[in-house]
Amino acid sequence: MIIITAKSIVKQDKIDEFINLAKELVKKSVKESGCISYNLYQDINYENMFTFIEEWESKKAIKSHNDSDHFKTIVPELEKLREKSADINLYKKI
């Protein structure tokens, strides 16, 4: 299993737009084969800080996620709403 965290700092005036788009990505991604879980979280102290926490069965599942239409359509739009690029890590449990 591989865990992905993707932390975003969103422009203050784009928070609602980010949430709506991100929720759409979540809805479509959880249906993908190899996706164990895919959730969106908002920082309880900083309303413009978010992270996805995703659990994937394999690198292969992640690759097909990155190649999916919804990823290729939504992720560039999310990028426009961020103050800077997302902070992305791929982790293994130890």
Cα–Cα distance list, 53 to 13, 64, 74 (Å)? 23, 17, 17
**Cα angle 49, 21, 73; round to 5:** 120
Report the residue number, 28 or 69, with the smaller CB distance to a second copy: 28
* Cβ proximity of 13 and 80 under 8 Å: no
Is residue 92 within the footprint of a second copy (CB under 8 A)? yes
Residues shown for the chain: 94
From residue 41 to residue 70, the character string flagging contacts with a second copy as x (rule: CB under 8 A) and all else as - is: xxxxxx--x-x-x-----------------
Is residue 19 within the footprint of a second copy (CB under 8 A)? yes
Q: Which residues bind a second copy (CB under 8 A)?
A: 2-3, 5, 7, 19, 23, 39-46, 49, 51, 53, 89-94
